[in-house]
Amino acid sequence: MLENYQISPVNQTLLDDAQAQIDIKTKPPGSLGRIERLAQQMAGAQGTLSPAADPAKLMLFAADHGMVAEGVSAWPSEVTTQMVANFLNGGAASNVFAKTNGLDMVVVDAGIIGDLPDHEKLIRANIAKGTNNAMHEDAMTAEQAAAALEFGANLAANAIESGTRVIALGEMGIGNTSSATLLCHAIEGIEIDVLTGPGAGLDAEGVNRKVEILKKIAQRRPGILSPMDALSAYGGLEIAMMAGALIGTASKGGITLVDGFIASSAALVALKARPEAAAHTVFAHRSKEPGHRLMLEAIGAEPLLDLDLRLGEGTGALLAFPLLRNACAMLADMATFESAGVSGKE
């Protein structure tokens, strides 16, 4: 997958040097826990003992899903377009959190059904207006999936080359929790019953109906699928672009901050195909969507936060972003025992 985007292995000597720098800071060894591991990871990913989280950018990918016609969501597909307009007008939670934390934000029309006027923050992919209904045919052709991957990879790689250090992944797409569930089921073999949750507000009866619909959809492509085949069969255009963005970011030595359940399904696709990108990937949080814990365990991810979030839009990634800033600041600015004149442990 995206073999033309080469990802250099992390320098083990640099990782060891970063750990040595962390260990001589004025604190008991390991006492900053996950922040220490995060600082070391960022140093390795960026290839420097002075990693930085800024400047950072939220890339929010939006697209529609043909399987919504089967009744998998409590909301109609036109809400995707309406929410994209809300993002462009600055009214969503992701806008508020991005502004509060000083991140630039762009919205990518990965494949929404509706039409919107041009906007300085809107990027159009022009691949397709939504996906096919996966109950009857693959959501995307192989060519569409490949084009979406390439679009996301190129967009992210260009951003990193232009000076961005961290790319936070966000998404919007009515029905995309269903795509994420089917992707995890197809790639990892985890049962649909335990992966399926309420998404954007289904009640218990709605969740049960969703389970049965997803099981029927999965019967069309039974068994374990390759990441690319699973993406074509079930993925949304926004999920494919997020997977591509993760690989493109890693290829340029940047860091991807992955949001919740849907963004993690994109990371699952990308890391299953390109595991070397894991060193450049940070998982922001564990969402309340029940399948997310199982998906994170399958990836082997250690998320930074657990706040019962289930909104998407990159909101969890934006809330976790200050931890990356602080990890870098600790490595750069915290005194050592020697510089502070503090006696070390005997």
pLDDT digits (tens, 9 = 90+) for 192-212: 999 999 987 889 999 999 999
For 308, the domain range is 56-328
Q: Are residues 24 and 169 in the same domain?
A: no
Domain co-membership, 42 together with 113: no
Task: Give the residue among 290, 281, 329, 262 at the shortest CA–CA distance from 61.
Answer: 262
Q: Are residues 44 and 60 in the same domain?
A: no
Judge whether 4 lies within some domain: no
Residues 23 and 132 in one domain: no
* pLDDT for 199: 83
> Any idea what the CATH number is for the domain that residue 36 is in?
1.10.1610.10
Do both 22 and 72 map to the same domain?
A: no
Percent of the chain with pLDDT over 70: 99
Average pLDDT over residues 253-280: 98
List helix spans (H) across the chain: 12-23, 33-46, 78-88, 93-101, 142-161, 176-188, 192-195, 204-219, 227-234, 237-251, 261-273, 290-299, 315-333, 337-340
Tens-digit pLDDT profile for residues 111-131: 999 999 999 999 999 999 999
* Confidence (pLDDT) at 305: 98
pTM over 0.95: yes
- Whether the Cβ atoms of residue 57 and residue 162 lie closer than 8 Å to each other: no
Whether 5 maps to a domain, the answer reads no
Per-residue pLDDT of 279-330, as tens digits, reads: 999 999 999 999 999 999 999 999 999 999 999 999 999 999 999 999 999 9
Q: Based on the fold, state whether residues 287 and 271 are members of the same structural domain.
A: yes
Distance CA 36, CA 29 (A): 9
The answer to whether position 319 is within a domain reads: yes
- Per-residue pLDDT at 7: 98
Mean pLDDT of 251-272: 98
HSE (side-chain half, CA atoms, 13 Å) at 311: 15
Whether residue 41 sits in one domain with residue 114: no
| Pairing mode of beta strands 281-283, 104-111 | unpaired
Q: Do 147 and 18 share a structural domain?
A: no
Q: What is the pLDDT of residue 84?
A: 98
Give 45: exposed, middle or buried? Use CB within 10 Å, 0-12, 13-18, 19+. Answer: buried
CA distance 40 to 14: 9
Specify if 346 maps to a domain: no
Q: How many helices (H) and strands (E) does the chain have?
A: 14, 6
Between CA 254 and CA 281 the distance in angstroms is 9
In a domain? residue 69: yes
Q: How far, rounded to the nearest angstrom, does the alpha carbon of residue 190 sit from its chain's CA centroid? A: 20
* pLDDT(338) > 90: no
Question: CA angle 16-251-6, nearest 5°?
Answer: 100
Q: How many angstroms separate the CA atoms of 93 and 58, rounded?
A: 13
Per the annotation, the verdict on 150 as an active-site residue is: no
- Is residue 212 domain-shared with residue 147, that is, in the same domain? yes
Tokens of 52: 């930085």
- Find the mean pLDDT for residues 212-222: 97
Could you tell me if residue 6 is inside a domain? no
Which amino acid, one-letter code, is at 325? R
So what's the pLDDT on residue 254?
98
**pLDDT of the residue at 345:** 64
213: number of Cβ within 10 Å: 18
31 and 66 in a single domain? The answer is: no
Does 42 fall in a domain? yes
Q: How far is 244 from 145, CA to CA, in rounded Å?
A: 10
- pLDDT value for 20: 97
- Hunting for tokens 């600055």 — which residue is that? 90
CA distance 120 to 123: 8
Residues 254 and 301 reside in one and the same domain = yes
**Residue 123, domain member (yes or no):** yes
How many structural domains comprise the chain?
Answer: 2
3-state secondary structure of 24: coil
pLDDT of residue 344: 63
Which of 36, 70, 171, 313 is catalytic? The answer is: 313
Contact 278, 313 (CB under 8 A): no
Same-domain status, 177 and 248: yes
pLDDT of 229 > 80? The answer is: yes
pLDDT digits (tens, 9 = 90+) for 17-75: 999 999 999 999 999 999 999 999 999 999 999 999 999 999 999 999 999 999 999 89
pLDDT at 342 > cutoff 90? no
CATH number, domain at 67? 3.40.50.10210
